[in-house]
Structures are given as structure tokens and as C-alpha cells.
């Protein structure tokens, strides 16, 4: 999608579609009437382009301008229509590649502005170990065989999604770049420790909510599960937040991420953050099918994972957390807050939303999901929500002390 581009002047009403040009090919979509928020059907969508122009744009320009017209008034419906339209746009490989390429370039550029040498840091990690052997050690063949279809798609500007070395080796530098502006008022000022502050904000809000529910809840958290642990960043923060816990298990569907997380364990023996194999381990697995007995864990945490799940998988993860938690145990999650003004600004800007959507395929499903209500339906009680950053929320829920599996 064109960087810094503007909608066509006549985008507010249907009209003649301009002929795509090589320098700035345009894909103009005219949306007709709509019926409901977030699940709206776009009844009159037309995509005007020429296949030859798309092929040329794929080879040379890779830039596109999106023109949107919605007949239904109201920001909610506009966001809904934008979500439908953006999803249609990104089904065109040249346009997805253009949007994702721009998103990746922005991350790398921002890292440079923070003084982070992206390429040098990644190359140091790339040469640190025999990664193919590390991958074999990290892989559970049964998990690979039963890999859910939703996970075998592109994420975060990587065509291979989370199932490859580039995303796994770059995830920590990418997190620093992506989260650098989280706490800035204008969304543009950068902080090198933005990622650390975000994770600290999660555990501050988590502690507040857990103490509100039960002042002794944190002390009782001896067995902790980190669902969607990635390379272990969230697990490291959990260890710092729960120093009295006896066991931490990080779970992730990507065996590549698990390999990188295991390497961190080897590289940091005795680390004050708890990177010690006697206390922390990582396991290849799915949040929907956790490798634990019923009623066996004290805390199930998930940090920045739910926006990467389709709604059905998110509900399965919540139900599975309920199953493995002991009565009185706690589920906690931190992710983007769809009601936050910063999120709404992106959702209501078709260009910003297109760039975001190109890296997050299930973004609108997450935004539409009532996570708190799903938790209640699963059987959780005393569901508490706290702000953990200007753009993120923390949700904590307790499994009833006299709970029975549903």
C-alpha cells in the first residue's frame, strides 16, 4: 500500500476507476451497503485492476493506492468495511508483498533509529549454534503432524509466518522496534526500553488484578505456564514477576521459536531472571492442547498471543487453560486493547490498518472477540481488566475454588 499516499479524490463516491500506472498502480474498491459491525458483508465490492499491471507492479513497483467508499455512515461500520476490504486486498500476492515489505522495512529502520544494529545482532545469533540440530531437539513430530491450519500462514511480514529461522532469530530485535513508541503520547516518540516497559506494565497490572481477586493468589502460583512463549521473552519476564514459583513451562507452536528459547537457556545458566533448566523449560506444543493433567497448574499466562489467533482458537485456548488450572488458579493475558484510542486511530485509518493487517492476519477477529465474556462462559469467575499501556490491556480471571470441568 502506498507509503504516505492519499485516497483518490473521488473515493467518497462511486465513479470512474483510474487506469493503474506503473509508478503507482491503484486498486480501487467501492463498498456498498453493510449490515453489521465486524462481521459485515460487503455486498457491492468491486476490484478494478488489470492483471498485467499487477504482474508489473509485483516485479517493479510493489506500491499500491487503496480507494475506499462506504455507503453506510458511522465509524464502526467504516472500520468493519475497511477490515473486509483490506482482507480482500491482501489476497493479491503482489499487494500483500508490498504491504509486508513496507512493514518489515519500517521495523528495521526504527531499530536503527534506536541504535540497534538489526543485521549484526541477528547474524551473531545465527552463527551461535548448530540450529538444524537445535531444531531437531526442539521439535515434537506429533505437534508438527497436527499443526492447526490457522498457524500455517504469514505473520509479521514473514511469508513463512512463525515457522522459519528469520522470524525466530529476529523476534527479539523486532519486539524492541515494534514496542518502542508504545508509551509515547503521539505514537511517534521512541524509547529503546519500550518493550521492557510494556512487559513490566503487564506484570504490574497482573499483580493489581490478582491481588484484588485474592491477596494470596500470587504466593500460591508455584506452577506457571506461558502460552505462546515465542523465544522466551515473556517467560523471562514471568520468572521475574513470580520469584517464588517452582516451575515455568513455555509453550509455543513454532519449533523454531522453541529452539531459540532453548538456546537462551543454555547461554544464560544461573541468570538472575531465572534462565536455569532446573526451573524453566520450553516445550513444543499448542495452547489448545496443553501437555498437563486436569487441575494441575496455578497460573496460565499469555502475553501478546491472542491477537495472533482466530476467534475459534482463542476460545479453545481459554477453555484449555480452565481445564489445566487447579480450582482457585488463575488465567492472565495481555494484548492490544481494541477500545484504546491508539488502536481506534489505526482501525479508522485504512492505510495504517492495511499495513497492520498485512502483519496480523487475525487482527479484526481479535478486536471483535469479547475475551472477558468467553472467559466467563468457560467457567472463570471474577474477571478483572486493567490497562497495562496506552495501547494494551491485561485480563485476569480465576477458576472457582469449587470448580468442575465443563
- SS3 string, 23-66, reads CCCEEEEEECCCCCCCCCCCCCCCEECCHHHHHHHHHHHCCCEE
Mean of the pLDDT values across residues 128-133? 95
Sheet holding 65-70, edge to edge: 47-48, 26-31, 65-70
Confidence of residue 385 (pLDDT cuts 50, 70, 90): very high
Of 151-160, 282-291, 292-301, give the lowest mean pLDDT range.
Answer: 151-160
Task: Say whether pLDDT at 54 is over 70.
Answer: no
Long-range contacts of 244-247 (CB under 8 A, 24+ apart): 244/219, 245/221, 245/279, 245/298, 245/299, 246/222, 246/279, 247/222, 247/223, 247/279
Q: Are the CB atoms for 378 and 322 separated by under 8 Å?
A: yes
**Residues ≥6 apart with Cβ < 8 Å to 63:** 1, 2, 3, 5, 23, 24, 25, 57, 98
Mean pLDDT of 77-106: 67
- Residue 168: predicted pLDDT: 96
Give me the sheet containing 392-398, strands edge to edge.
280-284, 247-252, 223-227, 297-303, 325-336, 392-398, 381-389
How much of the chain exceeds pLDDT 90, in percent?
59
CA separation for the pair 66, 45 (Å, rounded): 13
Contacts of 279 by beta carbon, 8 Å cutoff, 6+ apart: 239, 245, 246, 247, 248
131 or 356: which leads in pLDDT: 131
Dist. CA 317–CA 338, nearest whole Å: 20
Q: Stretch 213-231: mean pLDDT, rounded?
A: 97
49 pLDDT higher than 60: no
Strand 247-252 and strand 223-227: the pairing is parallel
pLDDT band at 73 (very low <50, low <70, confident <90, very high): very low
The tens digit of pLDDT for each residue in 318-376 reads: 999 999 999 999 999 999 999 998 888 877 776 677 667 667 889 889 999 999 999 99
Question: What per-residue string of b and e applies to 358-379 under the rule 16 or more CB within 10 Å gives b?
Answer: bbbbbbbbbbebebeebbeebb
Question: Three-state SS for 397?
Answer: strand
pTM of the model: 0.78
H/E stretch holding 181 = none
Measured between alpha carbons, how far is 270 from 287 in angstroms, rounded to an integer? 28
Q: 217 with 241: CB under 8 angstroms? A: no
Residue 247 in this model has a pLDDT that exceeds 70: yes
Task: Look over the chain and give the mean of its residue pLDDT values, rounded to a whole number.
Answer: 79
Cα–Cα distance measured from residue 178 to residue 314, given in angstroms and rounded to the nearest whole number: 23
**Count, residues in the chain:** 406
CA distance 131 to 202: 31
**Cα 97 from Cα 85, distance rounded (Å):** 17
Q: Which candidate, 199, 200, 243, places its Cα nearest to that of 219?
A: 243
Work out the burial of residue 324: count CB atoms within 10 Å of its CB; fewer than 13 is exposed, 13-18 middle, 19 or more buried: buried
Question: What is the pLDDT averaged over residues 211-239?
Answer: 96
Beta strands 26-31; 223-227: pairing state: unpaired
Of 86-90, 198-202, 212-216, 334-338, the range with the lowest mean pLDDT is 86-90
> Which contiguous run of DSSP H or E holds residue 238?
helix 233-241
Helix (H) or strand (E) holding 207: helix 194-213
Q: Which residue has the higher pLDDT, 294 or 184?
A: 294
What confidence category does residue 266 fall into, taking pLDDT thresholds of 50, 70 and 90?
confident
Confidence band, pLDDT 50/70/90 cuts, at residue 83:
low
Helix (H, G, I), strand (E, B) or coil at 317: helix
d(CA 244, CA 15): 65
Q: How many helices (H) and strands (E) does the chain have?
A: 16, 10
Report yes or no: 92 and 54 within 8 Å, Cβ to Cβ. Answer: yes
pLDDT of residue 86: 65
Amino acid at each position: 500500500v502506498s507509503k504516505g499516499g492519499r485516497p483518490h479524490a473521488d473515493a467518497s463516491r462511486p465513479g470512474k476507476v483510474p487506469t493503474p500506472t506503473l509508478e503507482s498502480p491503484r486498486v480501487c474498491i467501492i463498498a456498498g451497503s453493510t449490515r453489521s459491525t465486524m462481521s459485515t458483508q460487503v455486498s457491492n465490492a468491486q476490484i478494478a485492476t488489470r492483471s498485467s499491471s499487477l504482474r508489473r507492479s509485483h516485479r517493479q513497483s510493489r506500491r499500491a493506492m487503496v480507494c475506499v467508499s462506504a455507503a453506510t455512515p458511522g465509524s464502526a461500520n467504516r472500520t468493519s468495511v475497511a477490515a473486509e476490504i483490506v482482507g480482500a486486498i491482501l489476497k493479491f500476492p503482489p499487494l500483500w508483498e508490498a504491504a509486508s515489505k513496507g512493514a518489515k522495512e519500517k521495523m528495521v529502520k526504527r531499530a536503527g533509529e534506536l541504535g540497534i544494529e538489526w543485521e549484526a545482532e541477528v547474524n551473531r545469533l545465527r552463527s551461535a549454534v548448530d540450529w538444524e540440530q537445535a531444531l531437531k531437539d526442539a521439535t515434537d513430530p506429533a505437534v508438527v503432524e497436527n499443526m492447526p491450519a490457522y498457524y500455517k500462514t504469514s505473520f509479521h511480514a514473514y511469508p513463512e509466518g512463525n515457522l522459519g529461522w528469520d522470524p525466530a532469530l529476529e523476534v527479539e530485535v523486532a519486539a524492541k522496534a515494534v514496542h518502542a513508541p508504545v508509551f509515547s503520547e503521539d505514537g511517534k516518540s521512541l524509547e529503546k526500553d519500550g518493550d521492557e516497559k510494556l512487559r513490566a506494565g503487564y506484570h504490574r497490572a497482573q499483580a493489581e488484578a490478582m491481588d484484588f481477586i485474592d491477596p494470596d493468589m500470587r504466593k500460591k502460583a508455584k506452577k506457571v505456564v506461558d502460552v505462546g512463549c515465542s523465544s522466551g521473552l515473556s517467560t523471562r519476564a514471568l520468572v521475574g514477576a513470580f520469584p517464588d514459583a517452582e516451575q515455568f513451562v513455555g509453550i509455543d507452536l513454532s519449533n523454531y521459536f522453541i529452539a531459540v528459547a532453548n538456546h537462551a537457556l543454555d547461554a544464560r545458566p544461573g541468570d538472575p531472571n531465572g534462565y536455569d533448566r532446573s526451573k524453566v523449560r520450553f516445550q513444543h506444543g499448542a495452547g489448545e492442547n496443553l501437555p498437563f493433567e486436569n487441575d494441575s497448574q496455578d497460573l496460565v499466562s499469555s502475553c501478546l498471543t491472542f491477537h495472533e489467533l482466530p476467534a475459534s482458537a482463542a476460545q479453545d485456548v481459554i477453555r484449555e487453560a480452565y481445564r489445566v488450572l487447579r480450582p482457585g488458579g488463575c488465567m492472565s493475558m495481555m494484548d492490544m486493547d481494541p477500545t484504546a484510542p491508539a488502536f481506534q486511530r489505526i482501525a479508522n485509518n485504512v492505510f495504517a490498518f492495511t499495513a497492520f493487517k498485512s502483519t496480523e492476519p487475525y487482527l479484526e477477529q481479535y478486536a471483535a472477540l469479547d475475551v472477558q465474556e468467553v472467559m466467563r462462559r468457560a467457567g472463570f469467575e471474577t474477571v478483572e481488566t486493567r490497562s497495562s499501556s496506552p495501547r494494551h490491556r491485561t485480563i485476569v480471571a480465576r477458576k472457582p475454588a469449587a470448580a468442575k470441568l465443563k
